[in-house]
Amino acid sequence: MTHTAVVTSTAPRRTSTASRRFKRGAVSVLWALAGVAIAILMWELVKWVGTLVSLPFDSGDGTMPHVWTIVDAFSQPEVRGSDTTVLQAVVTSAAHSLLIAAGGFIIGVSVGLLLAIIMQRFSFMERGLLPFVIASQTVPLIALAPLIVGIGNRISFGPIQWDTTYSVMFIAAYLAFFPLSVGALRGLHSPTPTSLELMRSYAATPRQMLFRLRFPSSLPYLVPALKVSAASAIIGTVVAEISTGVKGGIGRLIIEYAREASSNPAKVYVAVLGALVLGLVAAGLVTALDLYLTRNLPKEGKA
Amino acid sequence: MRDIARNKWVQFAGLATVGALALSACGGSSSSSSASTAAASAAAPASSAAAACTTPTPVKLQLQWFVQAQFGGYYAAKDMGYYKDACLDVTILEGGVDIVPQTVLAQGGADFAISWVPKALSSREQGAGIVDVAQVYQRSGTRQVAWADSGIKTSADLKGKKVGNWGFGNEYELFAGISKAGLDATSDVELVQQQFDMKALLSREIDAAQAMTYNEYAQLLEAKNPKTGKLYTAADFTILDWNTEGTAMYQDAIWASQERLADAAYQATTQAFVQASLKGWIYCRDNAQGCADIITQNGSKLGASHQLWMMNEVNKLIWPSPMGVGVVDPALWDQTVAVAMGTKNLDGVAIISAAPDAEAYTDTYAKAADAALEAEGLNVTGDAFVPVEVVLNEGGN
């Protein structure tokens, strides 16, 4: 009841907050666009300087095509006579990679969370498991990827065969679980002794402690960990695709287009831009998740 | 407070489930395409076309790289139904940057692998139990390409020049050629690590670049000369050919598992696979355009003229095969082994330290396959082979 009362009383103010928020949003969008414009100007500036003095690297059209050449490559047909444009191919591949990365992310996050819960609950597990969790990330990905694909080739469950796509997803999950398990572990440890004692005085079961206290208070740790995990999942997907040549994704497309780099250098930049946008989309999705999860928590710099 | 917290977690779980559902839907569609390879490994003895085929034997073939005309024969054999006729259900596994086919084969991830002979022999020396069962390529496709105006006409002319090479075991023919010309690879030439494109040569950062006839050399001819606005032509370049210089090494061959060759069922599968594959290569020889189209249909992103060029150049590396397609020429094998043993790279390492044993290759399967194909009325030597003329367009389109 009090809740509604508060809302009504602050209603007029809220519109002004909304318009202020809109203004702030518009300004940040403008800044972002300015950043892109500056990047484009810098690129062309380096090319222009390269025509005047000799730079320590090649800035010719063969290596650094003009921005408008790259934009022009968006609408080129992928192969002559095909209906698909380069842009369409890049978007389709990026979407494919995003789905694989999302799969890896969900698996990785689930495993990471589970590990964190186990490690929090049993301190001997934390001591025993954590070194392995950390060691898992020191294995170089390019050594691991062919191995996982190789093992995958030998797996089959009855009539269902292991698809190389699953191997890529596995690699994405392998990278994604780590930041989350470490972040979640810290988060689960974060409740103050006072809160824990209060829960104990209520005779709360370990499960109640976990769901009522530890999970909610781990959110501030969990959200940044989720962001890092999402980025890791994307990196894992793209690198695994490049490394093992799995079809359909943006990593493979970059290699395919790189082969034409001698005669059509702009094309590979379109694919690289696609990978970049893919990373941004993933980051955006996690930020949206963040806003949703922490909507009831006090925001920094506000309140 | 309690309710808010619980709601949040319920909703979070809901989100996760939705994500998982979307994903499993996508996973389902991708698995259904590959689910056709049933794991019913009853290993029906797959003798050639004549035997009644109830359960096709599943076979996995590991390539070195993505689908392209370099592997045309295998894709043709699959699409033309030669594998099916031989009661084989072949899955072609494409390669990638870090995929080593002979290792995949040795570890059991594939039943057969395509690999260059020197690299495979090196793996073999390190313990990979693999056997060359069909030497498909009879010539080396590696060249050293220089600008015509650079004055590089023989290996000896490389003295004092900036010479690009790919490294990673792709440089031995070049090094052997340099040594053969009486030069010292470490002091007489400036060796430069080269990327897998031809930009360094085009921008004249290097004087000579490594190139495969079927790929990088074509990339040169697909690039525009900024001075004239027209494509470069063969007249703009000179080529050092290791086949005529006598330091060429055998390249693409079909490798099988040595251990499993003791098993009669695998022997039969190998025989059937080699025969159908070679039949595929014969199809590609006689239908270069048709085979290039098959490659494009299988998802290659290469332009049409580049694809046909590659097919044609690959045909030139295979045909003619005077001893029959897939059969090892002992003289060329010995040359490969000699170069592999006698040439040291910049790190002072040779590819192999000792000659491989006699079991490193076998002609049994290729010879039997050739006899059977000849009985079908096919020409297995390609003595009358004439390459087609391919005009490359800008960017290979």
**Residue boundaries of the structural domains of chain A:** 2-64, 79-293
Percent of chain B topping pLDDT 70: 87
Interacting residues of A132 by C-beta distance below 8 A, sequence separation 6+: none
Contact B132, B361 (CB under 8 A): yes
Nearest CA-CA partner of B134 in B114, B120, B118: B114
Looking at per-residue pLDDT, the higher value among A297 and A274 belongs to A274
Report yes or no: A100 and A168 within 8 Å, Cβ to Cβ: yes
Q: Which of A168, A172, A165, A211 is nearest to A188 (CA)?
A: A211
Q: If you ran DSSP here, which 8-state letter would residue A42 be given?
A: H
Of B222, B245, B268, the domain-final residue: B245
Is the pLDDT confidence value at A5 over 70?
Answer: no
Q: Which of B34, B223, B299 sits opposite A262 (nearest CB)?
A: B223
Selecting from A151, A165, A247 the residue whose C-beta is nearest the C-beta of B299 gives: A247
> Residue A99's pLDDT is what?
95
- Cβ-based contacts of B203 with chain A (< 8 Å): 58, 60, 62-63
- Same domain as B353, residue B224: no
Task: Tell me how far apart the alpha carbons of residues B280 and B275 are, in angstroms, rounded to a whole number.
Answer: 9
**How far is the alpha carbon of B27 from chain A, nearest alpha carbon, in Å?**
8
Where among B245, B273, B306 does a domain terminate? B245
How far does CA A177 lie from the centroid of its chain?
A: 12
For B219, which of A109, A164, A263 is closest by C-beta distance?
A: A263
B200 shares a domain with B96? no
**A258 vs B93: CB contact, 8 Å cut-off?**
no
Q: Using CA atoms, how far apart are residues A228 and A182, in angstroms rounded to an integer?
A: 11
Of residues B344 and B286, the one with the higher pLDDT is B286
Contact A150 B220 (CB under 8 A): no
Q: pLDDT-derived band of residue A266, with 50, 70 and 90 as boundaries?
A: confident
Yes or no: say if A184 and A215 are a contact pair by the CB < 8 Å rule.
no
Q: Find, among B113, B69, B72, B140, the residue nearest to B253 by Cα.
A: B113
Q: What is the mean pLDDT of residues B64-70?
A: 92
Largest CA distance in chain A: 77
Do you know the residue count of chain B?
Answer: 397
Q: Are residues B255 and B285 in the same domain?
A: yes
pLDDT at position A300, please? 56
pLDDT band for position B47 (cuts 50, 70, 90):
very low
Tokens 């402690």, residue?
Answer: A209
A91/A249 Cα distance (integer angstroms) = 10
Strands B112-116 and B130-134 turn out to be unpaired
Higher local confidence (pLDDT), B154 or B33: B154
The verdict on B115 and B254 lying in the same domain is yes
The total of structural domains in chain B comes to 2
How distant, in Å, are the alpha carbons of A6, A59, B145, B150, B224 from that of B228?
A: 76, 21, 21, 19, 8
Query: Which single residue is written with the structure tokens 């001819």?
Result: B221
Is residue B373 located within the same domain as residue B269?
Answer: yes
Write the pLDDT tens digit of every residue in B97-149: 888 999 999 988 899 999 999 999 999 999 999 999 999 999 999 999 999 99
Instruction: Check CB contact of B26 with chain A, cutoff 8 Å.
Output: yes
Between chains, do A259 and B197 touch, taking CB under 8 Å as contact? yes
Residue-wise pLDDT for A105-162, tens only, equals 999 999 999 999 999 999 898 899 889 988 888 888 888 888 888 788 777 777 777 8
**The tokens 């400036």 sit on which residue?**
B190
Cβ-based contacts of B17 with chain A (< 8 Å):
none
The answer to whether position B98 is within a domain reads yes
Q: What angle do CA A73, B66, B139 make, to 5 degrees?
A: 115
pLDDT band for A299, please (50, 70, 90 cuts). Answer: low
Torsion of CA A137, A139, A148, B254, to 10 degrees: 160
DSSP A137: T
CB distance A146–B27 less than 8 Å?
no
Task: Specify which residues B256 forms β-bridges with.
Answer: B112, B131
Query: Using CB atoms, which residue from A143, A165, A242 is nearest to B97?
Result: A242
Least confidently predicted of A145-154, B257-266, B281-290, B330-339: A145-154
**B299 part of a folded domain:** yes
Q: What's the pLDDT tens digit per position in A39-48? A: 999 999 998 9
- The runs of H, that is alpha helices, within B231-363 are 242-245, 264-286, 288-297, 304-318, 330-342
pLDDT confidence of residue A154: 79
What mean pLDDT do residues B291-297 have? 94
Q: Does A167 touch chain B if contact means CB atoms closer than 8 Å?
A: no
Q: Are B222 and A159 within 8 A, CB to CB?
A: no
Query: pLDDT, tens digit, for every residue of B169-199?
Result: 788 899 999 988 988 888 889 989 888 788 8
The CATH number of the domain covering residues in A79-293: 1.10.3720.10
| Residue B282 or A73, more confident | B282
Pick the residue from chain B with its C-alpha nearest to A166.
Answer: B27
Query: What pLDDT sits at residue B350?
Result: 87
Tokens of A18: 């909304």
B120 in a domain, yes or no? yes
In chain A, residues with a C-beta closer than 8 Å to the C-beta of B2 are 212
* Percent of chain A as helix, strand, coil, to the nearest 5: 75, 0, 20
Of the partner residues B8, B22, B397, the one whose CB lies closest to the CB of residue A79 = B397
What letter represents residue A169's amino acid? M
- Return the half-sphere exposure (C-beta side, CA atoms, 13 A cut-off) of residue A228: 15
Listed residue (B379, B63, B129, B76) closest to B263, CA to CA = B129
Structure confidence at residue B4 (pLDDT): 42
Q: What is the pLDDT of residue A291?
A: 85
**Whether residues B261 and B198 fall in one domain:** no
Residue bearing the bigger pLDDT, A92 or A3? A92
Q: Give residue B397's identity as a one-letter amino acid code.
A: N
- Chain A CB contacts of B223 below 8 Å: 262-263
Per-residue pLDDT band at A15 (split at 50, 70, 90):
low
Mean pLDDT of B224-231: 88
Any domain includes B44: no
Q: What is the pLDDT of residue B5?
A: 43
Indicate if B227 and B306 belong to the same structural domain: no
The per-residue pLDDT for A14 is 57
- Put simply, the chain B residues between 278 and 317 with a CB less than 8 A from any chain A CB are 296, 299, 301-304
Residue type, A288: A
Residues 6+ apart with CB under 8 A from B259: B129
Nearest-Cα residue of chain B relative to residue A76: B397
Once rounded to an integer, what is the mean pLDDT over residues B269-278?
A: 97
pLDDT band per the 50, 70, 90 thresholds, residue A13: low
Does pLDDT of B217 surpass 90?
yes
Average confidence (pLDDT) over A202-226: 91
Within-domain flag for B148: yes
- CA dist B255 and A205 (Å) reads 62
* Domain match, B65 and B129 both: yes
Q: Is residue B25 part of a domain?
A: no
Residue B42 lies in a domain: no
pLDDT band at residue B224 using 50, 70 and 90 as cut-offs: confident
Share the mean pLDDT of chain A: 85
* B280 and B310 belong to one structural domain: yes
Cα three-residue angle A141-A241-A167, rounded to 5 degrees: 75
pLDDT of residue A9: 47
Strand pairing report for B142-147 and B162-165: unpaired
Rounded average pLDDT over B158-171 = 88
Nearest to B370, CA basis, from B140, B141, B139, B135: B135
Helix (H, G, I), strand (E, B) or coil at A216: helix
Write the CATH number for B296. 3.40.190.10
Cβ neighbours of A194 (radius 10 Å)? 8
Residue B49 is predicted with a pLDDT of 45
Residue B52 has pLDDT above 90, yes or no: no
Where a domain ends, among B207, B223, B245? B245
Instruction: Looking at the structure, tell me whether residues B113 and B165 fall in a common domain.
Output: no
| Cα–Cα distance measured from residue A271 to residue A88, given in angstroms and rounded to the nearest whole number | 11
Q: Please provide the size of chain A in residues.
A: 303
Residue A2: the pLDDT is 44
CB A242 within 8 A of CB A255: yes
CA distance A297 to chain B (A): 11
Answer whether B201's CB lies under 8 Å from B220's CB: yes
Residue identified by tokens 């694919």 is A271
CA distance B387 to B384: 10
Q: Count other C-beta atoms under 10 Å from residue B237's C-beta.
A: 22
Q: Are residues B74 and B153 in the same domain?
A: no
Task: Give the pLDDT score at B51.
Answer: 54
Range of the domain at B271: 57-139+249-396
Instruction: Provide the percentage of residues in chain A whose pLDDT is more than 70.
Output: 92
pLDDT for position B43: 37
Task: State the Cα–Cα distance between residues B223 and B216, nearest whole angstrom.
Answer: 11
Q: Report yes or no on B9 lying in a domain.
A: no
- pLDDT score of B212: 94
Distance, CA of B192 to CA of B166 (rounded, Å): 8
Residues B373, B300 share a domain: yes
Q: Which of residues 231-260 of A touch B (CB under 8 A)?
A: 241-247, 252-253, 255-260
Contacts of B304 (CB under 8 A, 6+ apart): A79, A80, A81, B292, B296, B396, B397
Q: Give the three-class secondary structure for B126.
A: coil
- The reply to whether B35 touches chain A by the CB within 8 Å rule is yes
Residue B17's identity, in one-letter code, is T
Quick one: pLDDT at residue A25?
83
Contact A263 B4 (CB under 8 A): no
Give A195→chain B minimum CA distance, Å. Answer: 14
Residue A35, token pair as written in the block:
């950043």
Q: What are phi and psi of B37, to 5 degrees?
A: -80, 85
Given a contact cutoff of 8 angstroms between Cβ atoms, the answer to whether B46 and B269 are in contact is yes
Taking only residues 208 to 227 of chain A, the set having a beta carbon closer than 8 angstroms to any beta carbon of chain B reads 211-212, 215-216
Q: How far apart are CA B387 and CA A230, in angstroms?
A: 52
State which of A82-86, A163-167, B230-234 shows the largest mean pLDDT. Answer: B230-234
Residue B65 gets which letter from DSSP? S
